[in-house]
């Protein structure tokens, strides 16, 4: 797997990250992802989900960065029982994961950007079973623009594009697995040995890249009000609000 990841590029992103933030803060962010997972698992548990209340399902969607402001639209547009059944099928159905991802993505009828629907679907899977499934957010891989954290550390020619949304999710998962497999060699395993450590690392890759682009494009005054790396990472991973409320 390691030949599919540019380890030197990954190390350089890690070095640049540690120029902007302490190691302990990255470890803390991984811990906050674990807390988010514990919170969601209460409501998404196989024995509990179908009996969950509307308020509990709303709370689930409020933890997802991309859907937080669209919760009312989601609940108005979908029958509660049908929505819970579709979430159940996504998380616990018998079909292959690509088909389940595609099925839930297609079910969401509210007028949401494609990337928001894929963010939501991936977060439900990942935070309910982080040892099995992965996130797919636009900052990780944007098929339209061919940008994101994954191609910044993947070797040239690594293919992340699929013929469907479900197929793309599977390919993103392979990319995340490859990055995770080089955590020690790329010097970011200290964050966490779980996949949450890889989530944090990839968010840092994107933030470092974004800082570089913004410095070139924006005014000095605008750059001064950009969030710090820790805050930026937490926003991407959907834990900034949870921390602020703590």
pTM comes to 0.91
More confident call, 190 vs 221:
190
Residue 151: predicted pLDDT: 95
Q: What average pLDDT score do residues 147-161 get?
A: 90
CB 173 within 8 A of CB 133: yes
The answer to whether residue 196 scores a pLDDT higher than 50 is yes
Closest CA to 121 of 93, 146, 144, 147: 93
* C-beta neighbour count of 226 within 10 angstroms: 15
Rounded Cα distance, 149 and 147, in Å: 7
More confident call, 46 vs 65:
46
3-class SS of residue 121 = helix
Rounded Cα distance, 149 and 153, in Å: 7
The lowest-confidence range among 60-74, 140-154, 162-176 is 60-74
For residue range 128-152, what is the model confidence (pLDDT) as tens digits? 999 999 999 999 999 999 999 999 9
Q: Which H/E stretch holds residue 118? A: helix 114-128
The answer to whether residue 74 scores a pLDDT higher than 90 is no
Return the bridge partners of 5, or none.
154
């Amino acid at each position: 797997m390691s030949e599919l990841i540019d380890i030197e590029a990954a190390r350089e992103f890690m070095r640049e990250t540690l120029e902007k933030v302490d190691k302990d803060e990255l470890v803390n962010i991984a811990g906050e992802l674990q807390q988010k997972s514990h919170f969601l698992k209460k409501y998404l548990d196989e024995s509990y989900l179908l009996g969950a209340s509307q308020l509990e399902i709303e709370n689930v969607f409020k933890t997802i960065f991309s859907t937080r402001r669209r919760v009312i639209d989601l609940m108005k547009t979908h029958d509660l029982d049908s929505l819970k059944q579709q979430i159940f099928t996504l998380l616990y159905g018998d079909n292959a994961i690509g088909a389940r991802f595609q099925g839930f993505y297609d079910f969401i009828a509210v007028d949401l950007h494609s990337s928001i629907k894929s963010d939501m679907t991936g977060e439900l899977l990942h935070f309910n079973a982080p040892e099995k499934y992965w996130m797919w957010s636009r900052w990780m891989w944007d098929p339209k623009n061919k940008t994101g954290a994954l191609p910044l550390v993947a070797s040239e020619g690594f293919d992340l594009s699929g013929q469907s949304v479900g197929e793309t999710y599977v390919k993103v998962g392979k990319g995340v697995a490859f990055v995770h497999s080089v955590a020690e060699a790329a010097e970011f395993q200290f964050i966490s040995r779980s996949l949450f450590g890889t989530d944090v690392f990839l968010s840092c890759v994107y933030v470092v890249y974004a800082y570089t682009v913004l410095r070139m494009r924006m005014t000095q005054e605008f750059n001064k009000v950009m969030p710090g790396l820790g805050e930026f990472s937490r926003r991407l991973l959907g834990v900034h609000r949870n921390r602020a409320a703590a």
